[in-house]
Amino acid sequence: MSINPVSDEGIASLWTGVSRFPVALFRQQLELAYRGFGLPELDAKEAVDVLSAADLYGIESHGIALIDYHSSGYRAGDFVPGAPLTVNRETPVSVTFDGHSGPGPVQGSRAMRRCVEKATESGICIATVNNSTHYGMAGYYARMASDAGLIGVAMTNSGSLVAPTFGSAPMLGSNPIAVAVPAGAGSDGIVLDMSTSTVAWGKIAIAQRAGKSLPDGWAQDKTGRPTNDPNEVGALTPLGGERITSGQKGYGLGLIVDVLCGPLGGGGSSWQVLGGLGNGRGSGVGHSFMAWRIDAFRDPEEFHTDIRQMIADLHASPVAPDVPSDRVLVPGDIEAATRRYNEKHGVPVRPQVLDEVRAVCDEWGVPFVLTGE
Ligand SMILES: NC(=O)c1ccc[n+]([C@@H]2O[C@H](COP(=O)([O-])OP(=O)(O)OC[C@H]3O[C@@H](n4cnc5c(N)ncnc54)[C@H](O)[C@@H]3O)[C@@H](O)[C@H]2O)c1
């Protein structure tokens, strides 16, 4: 059936039977947990801003669902609450930070804030953070720039999950790229926020829990052969899948993200990232951020008009038959509409995630407040 995926009906159909919580209560739960992990008050609020944004945008894999992973990282000492963000090197248009294994959402927000400040002064800035930890959704940081009227880019590497083309072992992370393009007041602009693997690891875990087989092209087994069995996955495929379906392009994109997030800032590549696996060996994730002023190139109002026209032209372009949408979308449409819906109707949290949040609260001795709906 073809529906409007950015209508209330279209969004609600994806979340039937899931409990929803008022935004303030949802944020309170996250803040209690991250204060419990030992984050100072302002850092906890910053982490909550990033994680709650993911759930508001409907990116359920990168919001409160990370709490169990983060809990094990803090327990093991892989993530260090209150760690500083220090400058290794700086020019008027660049800055390289060391994150000292601090909370990724906090270090990422601080780094992008500084990147935007410097870009506002100089026209453009590129920032890197090495020695950081998992920072959640890349799009949050790209939007920090576009909210300030600049074009923003955010990337990160992660532990090894993705096999290179013709490879059998996971080497690259799912290394996402996010680009946010503002189009002036009243427009959501364009926000591309995508991993460079065919699917995120979370989709394999969902299939494992549901006992469902994987679609062709998502993953390979430990010998490097394609697999549809979610319990036999040795590596994800790069975006595009196998060589015949252009997986080499996703591999190349993931590799470039790795270069800009790892070695450029003095950090390691994905296969050197320890990933904060709760083993006390640290994390070593790296991030990269870019921001540039539109008025360094042309009049911003004219640029906004052109971007709005591009969006309008794509929205008005013809729809293919037999697709699950009655319209063509642009990147960011679904997330923007989902955020508006969730702000009004509450933030959805699936039952299994609620169980994990309750268990983490018990472990750290903090109140569990996501009761009732
Ligand atoms: N921190 C990490 O290590 C890490 C690693 C991987 C992914 N992530 C995050 O995971 C999240 C999900 O990534 P993903 O790759 O699963 O994203 P996705 O495949 O759900 O979406 C990718 C992009 O496609 C756009 N899109 C979706 N449907 C569309 C349509 N019909 N037409 C046009 N555009 C459309 C979305 O707006 C989005 O910009 C992202 O926020 C990403 O930053 C984080």
What confidence tens digit (pLDDT) does each residue in 49-65 have? 999 999 999 999 899 99
CATH number at residue 63: 1.10.1530.10
Pocket of ligand 1 (CB under 6 A): 59, 61-62, 134-139, 156, 158, 174, 176, 178, 191-195, 200, 329-332, 334-335
Full DSSP string of 27-64: HHHHHHHHHHTT--HHHHHHHHHHHHHHHHTT-GGGTG
What was the pLDDT predicted at 115? 98
Question: With contact defined as beta carbons under 8 Å apart, do 174 and 137 qualify?
Answer: no
Determine how many CB atoms are found less than 10 A away from the CB of residue 365. Answer: 7
73 and 120, same structural domain?
no
Would you say residue 321 lies in a domain?
no
Decide if 323 is inside a domain: no
The pLDDT value given to residue 275: 61
Q: pLDDT category, 277, cuts 50, 70, 90?
A: low
Nearest-atom number in ligand 1 for the CA of 192 is 39
Q: What share of the chain in percent tops pLDDT 70?
A: 97
What does the mean pLDDT of the chain come to?
A: 95
212 plus 341 within the same structural domain: no
- CA–CA gap between residue 294 and residue 308 (Å, rounded): 15
Residue 147 within any structural domain of the chain:
yes
Asked if pLDDT for residue 281 goes beyond 70, the answer is no
In a domain, 10, yes or no: yes
Q: Which domain holds residue 35?
A: 1-82+333-373
pLDDT in tens, 88-123: 999 999 999 999 999 999 999 999 999 999 999 999
**Which is nearest to 220 in space by CA: 247, 252, 193?**
247
**0.75 exceeded by pTM:** yes
Quick one: which atom of ligand 1 is closest to the CA of 199?
A: 16
Element (H, E) at 214: none
- Mean pLDDT across 33-53: 98
State yes or no: pLDDT of 373 exceeds 70: no
Work out which ligand 1 atom sits closest to the CA atom of 203.
Answer: 16
Q: Which atom of ligand 1 is nearest to the CA of 138?
A: 43
231 pLDDT more than 70: yes
Q: Tell me how far apart the alpha carbons of residues 101 and 131 are, in angstroms, rounded to a whole number.
A: 5
What is the DSSP annotation of 167-203?
-SS--B----EEEEE---TT---EEEEE-SBSS-HHH
Residue range 237-246: average pLDDT?
A: 95
Residue 276 has pLDDT above 60, yes or no: no
Report how far ligand 1's centroid is from the alpha carbon of 333 (Å).
12
pLDDT band at 249 (very low <50, low <70, confident <90, very high): very high
In ligand 1, the atom with minimum distance to the C-alpha of 200 is 16
Ligand 1: centre distance to CA 247 (Å) = 17
Q: Which atom of ligand 1 is nearest to the CA of 333?
A: 37
Q: What is the pLDDT of residues 254-272, one digit of tens each?
A: 999 999 999 999 999 999 8
Whether 119 and 46 share a structural domain? no
For residue 136, the CA-to-ligand 1 centroid distance in Å is 12
Which protein residue's CA is at the shortest distance from atom 9 of ligand 1? 137
Asked if the structure places residue 34 within a domain, the reply is yes
Same domain for 97 and 74 = no
Task: Using most ligand atoms within 8 A of CB, pick from 193, 257, 315, 338 the residue to mutate for ligand 1.
Answer: 193
Structural domain total, the chain: 2
Residues 6+ apart with CB under 8 A from 164: 171, 172, 238, 251, 255
The model's pLDDT over 300-315, given as tens digits with 9 standing for 90+, comes to 999 999 999 999 999 9
Is 154 in the same domain as 181? yes
The closest residue, in CA terms, to atom 44 on ligand 1 is: 137
Residue nearest ligand 1's atom 30 by CA: 329
Mean pLDDT of 117-135: 97
Distance CA 218, CA 251 (A): 14
Q: Which of 16-25, 204-213, 253-262, 276-285 has the weakest average pLDDT?
A: 276-285
